[in-house]
Amino acid sequence: MSDEKRAKWIKVRVTESEKTVINEKAKAAGITVAQLIRESLCRVKTWTIKNKKTEKKRIREINRIGQNLNQIARWCNQYKSAGDAAQVLSYLVAIEKEINSFSILPNEEDHDAH
């Protein structure tokens, strides 16, 4: 904590029920509402996408993989008795390799932590 004086205000509108929940949490923690909010916000991490084009490509690829999985599931349901389990498994392994070929979670280099 610094010796800087808290002289600035931030006003936030909340519903009556939100206010009740916030007051209850502060009381349960044995701290003021202001302290609860400050401490809570210090624990929040935000990030922004540096390369939105890359992120959109990742999302498109994930959607394509999901569509492929739906097609495989539909095929399995339709041809249960004639289904070649080994062939289906090979398709699923190929999909797993595709998923592993790119990062689904954001890379640190693609995002700024705040």
pLDDT tens digits along 60-92? 888 888 888 888 878 777 776 655 767 777 777
| pLDDT of 95 | 79
Q: Which two tokens stand for residue 33?
A: 């509402």
Q: How many alpha carbons lie under 13 Å from residue 86 in its C-beta half-sphere? A: 0
Domain ranges of the chain: 11-44, 50-113
List phi, psi (to 5°) of 9: -110, 145
List phi, psi (to 5°) of 78: -75, -40
pTM: 0.43
Query: Distance between CA atoms of 42 and 27, rounded to whole angstroms?
Result: 19
